[in-house]
Structure 1
Amino acid sequence: MSVTTRRTRLAAAALAAVTALGGLAACGKDDDDATASGGKPAKLVVDTFGEFGYDEIVKQYEKDTGIKVELRKTAQLNEYRPKIVRALATGKGAADVVALEEGILNEFKANPANWADLGKLVAKDHSSEYLPWKWELGKAPDGRLIGLPTDVGSLAVCYRRDLFQAAKLPVERDQVAALWPDWNAFIETGKKYRAATGKGMLDSVTTASSAVMFQQGGDLFYDKDDNVVADTSASVKSAWDTAIAMADANITAETATWSPEWSAGFKQGTFAATFCPSWMLGIVQENSGPENKGKWDVAPVPGGAGNWGGSWLAVPTQSKYPKEAAKLAEYLTNAQSQVAAFKAKGPLPTNLEALKNPEFLAYTNEYFNNAPTGKIFGDSVSKIQPLHLGPKHQAVKENAFEPALRSYESGQSTKDKAWEQYVKDAKTQGAF
């Protein structure tokens, strides 16, 4: 996950960019949010993207506190970020608790004035309770704690057992893992699948490129001084070359991640595999539907480890109830809640007690053919390589790197032209 260096000298520039773009649109503070008896808020609002698994957890919080919790979910991060930007820029509309994903975290923590200092609001010092690097990343350049750790996106491969069987490939997860000890072997497996079925085994080259890039570690789109290094990063070049090799081998279904075609492809069998961080298990299940229960399974990624995503919970200073909001964030990120969220939707805990919890380690996911997902994803946490993600990592990834790869995958541009376009767009997207 991103062990990110922060440069105080960039804070003002990053803040200017954030302010120009805008901040978090989430909950609007309505008049019916008036405080309840005893000075407590009648309602607190939590904004998240994707699926955090909080639906049942907040019900217990409501019983314990008498405070209603409204969960506002945005499906995709690229739709979620502009909402944050807008609310911070206008000074209104932010939720009481806001999820910040690693790809956008640095962009927002560059201006700590937008965020409450959770170190002063929570009941005690929790720093020893989480993965150390994850805790440190929740701090702003001035040292204040703006985010409590939620999950980490340890990687695996989600694959369709029935489609593998139809292609006369092994279906048991240990045998599937043996198919691809490295990326070249993964490509060869994809070729066999294509020959047997006429279809692409993998959803898209972009899910593979993310896996390779994060597996390599080190500097990605930025160096440690937060200069854009689009064309010189070894991790990015390795990811690019692997993705190009997959496109050349014709092993993908060419369905862009998060597109309607991609979402529908899970149910329709358009592809047989995707690289899935722990948090994506819930998305795979929802897209695939109950009729595909037991058809999906989980195996390790080529190379055995990787990472994609992970978040923190922050409290905007706009919140009318920062103390109660901090308590809610504290509750949602404690060991018990992280285990419950993992069991509900798959976000992998970063709380050390949760990672050692016997219930977590023994957990099997019924939808994914009873795969021991607690062990599979839990074992990979220690293998995550330190990364440096720059201030606009997500923008460079989604608006420069991935579109260029897709243009080559779909045959719309040559290899050289795709790379040239990526380098050009990366400098634009990565600039302050």
Structure 2
Amino acid sequence: MRRLKKWLGLGLSATLLTFLLAACSGDESSTESKNGKVNLNFWVFGSAGYDVLVEEYMKDNPDVNIKVNFTEMGDLHNNLFTSIAAGSGAPDLTMIEVSQVSKFLDAKDSFYNLYEYGAKDVQENYLDWVWNNAQTPDGEFMIGLPTDIGPTTMYYRTDVFEEAGLPTDPEEVAALAATWDDYHELAKTIKDKTGKNIVDGPELLFNALRDQSPEQYFNEKDELIIEDSPYVKEAYDYTTNLIQEGLVGQNGLWSPEWGAAMAEGSYGTLLAPSWMVANIKANAPDAGGKWSVTTMPEGAGNWGGSFIAIPKESKHPKEAYEFIEWLTTPEQQLKSFSNNGLFPSAPSVYTQDAFTGFTDDYFNDLPTANIFAKAAESVKPVYMGKHYPIVNAELVTALTNVAVNKADPQKEWEEAIKRIEAQLERQ
């Protein structure tokens, strides 16, 4: 409890905390209705499309009523922290994004262990590295069943490659950028021939290298390792080196300028996960055929994805587990992929005809599902740590300062380390 209240911020007064908890709880606690139905409250973020699948489940299970509550991802996690800290207001079921899982595992006493409800029986349905992200290092506690994932690939502008006199076929492009050294040379060629950058900003380039690493910010004891382990610093140095050579843009991720550049084709490649397809199409609706996709240099990483957990406040963990086991089956994951583009964490989906035969006319009729599946199967497991967001935010700040303000990369790294250590001391 004490640790959870630290997450919420020591500056919250008791009165304000009580107000927030009351607001979170409302009338959403799990109860049995007068007609005998089991009522489950389900917190969801993003555009998962789970409301449609919930309706299907309730039709086949008329004794269960599931209320889906949509909210922004950040708000969902903050409200969940608040609720479990006070032991009041948590839902029966909740999505948890992969970068937040370690933090909630640290408060596992506030959640049901899904191994006690049969999770071991379905473990073989999922990619090993995905499954491992949601259990404690000792393998004794499972907080949530996997839903979607975000294997990373290399999107690229065929018109920019053509302007640079380069091939545009996905296999040829993959061979052209087989290694990160190759990618650096590609960046210089595109800049020389077109005047355009290889990427629109530093964050996605850094993420791509970081997410391929066997270690990131913390070890499994949640000790900060970025000064001892070489991988994150190597990703940072590679990124800042390309920045200083004038090969990387300055646009911040999710900014209006970032979206506009996606439509204009003012850069060569976008190193991003499978779910970025929706963002590309939304920002560049008239650029169909100009965007293509292939594998990334030296493999793939994962960015994004989620799990569904059952907070201890639920009075119906058995019924809640039965629902999430159904929702995360390969069959339902295929529906989520077909309906909403959520990439499956269940590899058996990758061989189904509806999946292997999927092509995307926006991307020149490429079998994009197969490209993403190849990436997903090459991801290596990595421990993220409960304070992952703190470290990541500070490193992105450092990279932005180098790209936008022409700051010294080493000085920015050192200042970021100081800010990170100061914040971790307060946790």
- Give the TM-score range, shorter chain: 0.7 to 0.9
Q: Distance in 1 between matches of 2:259 and 2:34?
A: 45
Per-residue CA distance 1:296-330 (angstroms, 9 max, x = gap): 22111011332223321112223454443323322
Report how many residues are paired.
Answer: 415
Cα deviation code 1:178-222 (max 9, x no counterpart): 2211112222222333334433231222111111112121x3212
1:265 aligns with 2:261: yes
Alpha carbons of structure 1 residues 93 and 373: separation in structure 2 relative to 1, 3 Å: farther
Counterpart in the other structure of 2:101: 105
Letter matched to residue 184 of structure 2: I
3-state DSSP class of the match of 1:126? helix
Show the 5 A alignment for 1:48-197.
48-49=45-46, 51-54=47-50, 56-66=52-62, 67=65, 69-74=67-72, 80-121=76-117, 125-140=121-136, 143-197=140-194
Mapped to 2, the partners of 1:391 and 1:139 lie a distance apart of 13
Q: In structure 2, what residue type is equivalent to 1:156? A: T
Larger deviation, residues 113-122 vs 16-25: 16-25
Given that residues 15 and 107 in structure 1 are in contact (C-alpha distance below 8 angstroms), is that contact kept between their aligned partners in structure 2? no
Tell me if structure 2 keeps the 8 A contact 1:25–1:95: no
Q: Do the aligned partners of residues 430 and 235 (structure 1) sit closer, same or farther apart at CA in structure 2, a change above 3 Å counting?
A: farther
Matched, 1:298 2:293: yes
- Paired with 1:336 and 1:328, the residues of 2 have a C-alpha distance of 14
Separation of aligned partners in 2, 1:410 and 1:304: 29
Q: Residue 306 of structure 2: SS of its match in structure 1?
A: strand
Equivalent in 227, 246, 250 of residue 246 of structure 2: 250
Scaled by the length of structure 1, what TM-score is found? 0.84
The whole-number CA distance in structure 1 between the counterparts of 2:296 and 2:22 is: 36
Residues 356-409 of structure 1, C-alpha deviations (whole Å, 9 max, x = no match): 3333233223332222222212223332223222221122112x1111011111
Does the CA contact (< 8 Å) of 1:281 and 1:345 recur in 2? Answer: no
Higher alpha-carbon Rg: 2
1:350 aligns to 2:348 (yes or no): no
Counterpart secondary structure, 2:212: helix
- Whole-angstrom CA distance in 1 between matches of 2:184 and 2:338: 32
Which residue identity lines up with residue 428 of structure 1 in the other structure? A
CA deviation map 1:83-129 (0-9, x unaligned): 33233334444343222222221111111122123334469821232
* Kept in 1: contact 2:21–2:86 (CA 8 A): no
> 1:375 and 1:14 mapped to 2: Cα distance?
43
- Is the CA contact (8 Å cut-off) linking 1:26 and 1:95 kept in structure 2? no
CA distance 1:262–1:372, shift in 2 (3 Å): same
**CA 1:246/1:387 → structure 2, altered by over 3 Å: closer, same or farther?**
same
Match of 1:407 in 2: 401
Deviation at 1:234, TM superposition (A): 1.1
Look up the equivalent residue of 2:237 and give its one-letter code. Answer: D
Residue 332 of structure 2 corresponds to residue 337 of structure 1: yes
Alpha-carbon distance in structure 2 between the residues aligned to 1:31 and 1:313: 18
Query: 2:405 is paired with a residue of what secondary structure?
Result: coil
Provide the residue aligned with 2:371 in structure 1: 376
Residue 164 of structure 1, CA deviation: 3.3
Distance 1:393 1:25, change over 3 A: farther
- Are the counterparts in 1 of residues 178 and 297 from structure 2 also a CA contact under 8 Å? yes
- CA, structure 1 residues 179+388, in 2 after alignment: closer, same or farther (shift >3 Å)? same
Whole-angstrom CA distance in 2 between matches of 1:171 and 1:229: 40
Q: Equivalent residue of 2:189, what SS?
A: helix
Taking every aligned residue pair, what percent have the same amino acid on both sides?
30
**AA matched with 2:48:** F
Alpha-carbon spacing, 1:196–1:429, altered in 2? closer, same or farther (3 Å)? farther
1:4 is matched with which residue? none
Does the C-alpha gap of structure 1 residues 140 and 229 become closer, same or farther in structure 2, counting only changes over 3 Å? Answer: closer
Distance in 2, matches of 1:362 and 1:304, equals: 23
* Displacement of 1:159: 1.9
Structure 1 residue corresponding to 2:415, chosen from 421, 424, 427: 421
Deviates more, 1:101-110 or 1:115-124: 115-124
Instruction: Give the 3 Å change call, closer, same or farther, for CA 260–405 of structure 1 in structure 2.
Output: same
Q: Are the aligned partners of 1:282 and 1:345 in contact in 2 as well (CA < 8 Å)?
A: no
Q: Is the 8 A contact 1:157 1:273 kept in 2?
A: yes
What residue in structure 2 maps to residue 237 of structure 1? 233
Per the alignment, residue 389 of structure 1 pairs with 384
Distance verdict in 2 for CA 1:159–1:149, change over 3 Å: same
Cα RMSD (Å): 3.2
CA contact (8 A) 2:356 2:370 kept: yes
Partners of 1:61 and 1:163 in 2: how far apart?
47
